[in-house]
Chains A and B, each alone.
Chain A
Amino acid sequence: MELGLWQVWEGGWISAILRGAAITIALGMASMAFGAVIGVGCGLIKWARIFPLTLAVDFYTSVVRGVPELLIIYLLFFSSVEFVARVAAAFGYEGLAGNGYAFTIAVVAIAAISGAYSTEVVRGALAAIPSGHIEAARALGIPGRRIFRRIIAPQMLRIAVPGMNNVWQTTIKDTALVSVVGLQELMRAAFVGAGSTRHPFIFYFIAALVYLAITLVSQGGFDWIERILRPRTRK
């Protein structure tokens, strides 16, 4: 049985896979950051039930969470390709469908997905803050903005961490889907390597190991953050 370990080493595929892993992590982090911004904004709207906006947010979260990620990625990629090519042509660039463009659209797609899940996490965290805390702050005459900054935001942050951990884990796994439209991330690097050496097993196995390493390391990171944010209580 020939697994092709030698071809992986000799063909320089290890560095290609590591480069892909770096892109996967960068993509995951950028999407997670934008997703968190979307999540806090939409989560606040959903929590406070700001009338017309809350309907839009409800529509956004239920569509994105109910429709397969792959379909959303196809929608954003296919509909943007033509548009971007036209804009690029207007400015005198030809063939701008390079990696930078793919990366940008990938961030938009994954952030939109991640943001929908973050919204639910933030809304849940806000709902978990005891209303007595906010009432007490109001009774003390603390202005609204400071209530948010000193009472609501710190508690929301702490309660939301475990949920955000879950969102991060799904986000990093969702980045693999972008490979189907050609961004050179980890999964795509494995796909190209598998195709050109005809040893798919070893390539996908290595890709799986790298994803596992990423998720396990970040799990440790989140456990650490959770420990730091845990309130100090008297024994």
Chain B
Amino acid sequence: MDFELVFLAVPTLAKGLWLTAILTITSVAIGFNLGLALAVMRLSKNRAMSSFAKGYSTVFRGTPLLVQLFLFYYGLGQLSFVRDNPVLWWVVGDGAHCAVMALALNTAAYTSEILRGGLMSIPAGLVEAAQACGMSQLLRFRRITFPLAIRQALPAYGNELVLVVKGTSLASTITVLEITGHAKRLMSQTYAILEIFAIAGVLYLLINLLLITLVRLLEARLTRYLPR
């Protein structure tokens, strides 16, 4: 391996690492809350709400993230009422903002399915007991339903986090220079394709390893009552 190349590539890709991290964190923060809301809607007795949540998850899980990204970035950017609205244009007009929106909406669909599984796994007796104790609906959700559901859903959600990290690479197709964007540029400048791939790949693997470790630690903390 050429050391000169490594000295050139590592700082550039590290710059991209920062942007990848920001994209991931922002879209996960938005997407998790949206996903939670969608999961609750999906399980509600209101027909309109549950079918909206179902349709949302079908559409966003049934189409490629790249299509969603292009539809938002190029498609919405074409519409005049989006261009004339300063708030909408702030979201759609900038590649990074638009990537966060697409990633957040996309991960919300997957998160809602994961959390729905967690919410459904809660024994009815626990909820009934909480009702019998006179807990309000909100308190019940906060103290009983949500903690149990998240504990159940955490391993699957860890996989979803890795998918979001990988999804951020698509932002490079709409002019955002994160790790993959810089890597592609370096590949066409230096022709050292395998070396650049290896460095960028190691960065992604490190992020994912860090995330998986954090999820495992959280899981161990949430299930610390279990005998080991």
A residues sitting closer than 8 Å to B (CB atoms) are 1, 62-63, 65-71, 74-75, 78-79, 82, 169, 173-177, 179-180, 187, 190-191, 194, 198-205, 207-208, 211-212, 215-216
Q: For the complex, what is the distance from the CA of A203 to the CA of B184, rounded to whole Å?
A: 26
Is B188 at the interface (CB under 8 A from chain A)? yes
Tell whether, in the assembled complex, residue B197 and residue A71 are in contact, meaning their CB atoms are under 8 Å apart. Answer: yes
A66-B208, A207-B67 known; A74+B183 contact, CB < 8 A: yes
Tell whether, in the assembled complex, residue A208 and residue B187 are in contact, meaning their CB atoms are under 8 Å apart. Answer: no
A66-B162, A69-B166, A74-B183 known; A177+B75 contact, CB < 8 A: no
Is B134 at the interface (CB under 8 A from chain A)? no
Q: For the complex, what is the distance from the CA of A134 to the CA of B95, rounded to whole Å?
A: 55
Majority secondary structure, B binding face:
helix
> 11 extra interchain contacts, Cβ-Cβ under 8 A, other than A67-B201, A180-B66, A201-B74?
A68-B170, A71-B201, A74-B197, A78-B188, A78-B193, A177-B64, A200-B77, A200-B78, A204-B74, A205-B75, A212-B62
Tell whether, in the assembled complex, residue A208 and residue B68 are in contact, meaning their CB atoms are under 8 Å apart. Answer: yes
* Chain A residue at minimal CB-CB distance from B69: A204
List the 4 closest pairs (A to B, CB-CB), nearest first. A68-B169, A201-B75, A200-B74, A176-B64
| B188 contact set on A, CB distance < 8 A | 78
Q: Which has the most chain A C-beta neighbours within 10 Å: B168, B172, B201?
A: B201
A179-B66, A200-B75, A200-B78 known; A75+B166 contact, CB < 8 A: no
* Chain A residue at minimal CB-CB distance from B170: A70
Is B205 at the interface (CB under 8 A from chain A)? yes
Tell whether, in the assembled complex, residue A67 and residue B205 are in contact, meaning their CB atoms are under 8 Å apart. Answer: yes
* Chain B residue at minimal CB-CB distance from A71: B180
Tell whether, in the assembled complex, residue B59 and residue A71 are in contact, meaning their CB atoms are under 8 Å apart. Answer: no
Q: For the complex, what is the distance from the CA of A65 to the CA of B101, rounded to whole Å?
A: 24
Is B90 at the interface (CB under 8 A from chain A)? no
Q: For the complex, what is the distance from the CA of A202 to the CA of B71, rounded to whole Å?
A: 9
Q: For the complex, what is the distance from the CA of A154 to the CA of B128, rounded to whole Å?
A: 43
* Chain B residue at minimal CB-CB distance from A177: B66
Number of interface residues of B (CB under 8 A): 44
Majority secondary structure, A binding face:
helix
Tell whether, in the assembled complex, residue A201 and residue B205 are in contact, meaning their CB atoms are under 8 Å apart. Answer: no
Is B200 at the interface (CB under 8 A from chain A)? yes
* Chain B residue at minimal CB-CB distance from A209: B63
Q: For the complex, what is the distance from the CA of A113 to the CA of B41, rounded to whole Å?
A: 34
A1-B80, A201-B79, A212-B59 known; A71+B200 contact, CB < 8 A: yes
| B208 contact set on A, CB distance < 8 A | 66
Within 8 A of A (CB), among B167-224: 167-170, 172-173, 180, 183-184, 187-188, 191, 193-194, 197, 200-201, 204-205, 208-209
Is B70 at the interface (CB under 8 A from chain A)? yes
Q: For the complex, what is the distance from the CA of A73 to the CA of B75, rounded to whole Å?
A: 25
| B191 contact set on A, CB distance < 8 A | 82
CB distance from A195 to the nearest CB of B (A): 9
Tell whether, in the assembled complex, residue B64 and residue A211 are in contact, meaning their CB atoms are under 8 Å apart. Answer: yes
Tell whether, in the assembled complex, residue A201 and residue B76 are in contact, meaning their CB atoms are under 8 Å apart. Answer: yes
A66-B204, A66-B208, A199-B78 known; A71+B183 contact, CB < 8 A: yes
Is B18 at the interface (CB under 8 A from chain A)? no
Is B154 at the interface (CB under 8 A from chain A)? no
| B59 contact set on A, CB distance < 8 A | 208, 212
CB distance from A157 to the nearest CB of B (A): 24
| A179 contact set on B, CB distance < 8 A | 66
Tell whether, in the assembled complex, residue B62 and residue A216 are in contact, meaning their CB atoms are under 8 Å apart. Answer: yes
A66-B204, A66-B208 known; A211+B169 contact, CB < 8 A: no
Q: For the complex, what is the distance from the CA of A115 to the CA of B59, rounded to whole Å?
A: 25
Q: B169: which of A63, A70, A201, A215 is its contact (CB, 8 Å)?
A: A70
CB distance from A13 to the nearest CB of B (A): 15
Is B81 at the interface (CB under 8 A from chain A)? yes
A66-B162, A74-B187 known; A204+B180 contact, CB < 8 A: no
Q: For the complex, what is the distance from the CA of A65 to the CA of B81, rounded to whole Å?
A: 40
Q: A205: which of B66, B71, B168 is its contact (CB, 8 Å)?
A: B71
Q: A67: which of B65, B67, B166 is its contact (CB, 8 Å)?
A: B166
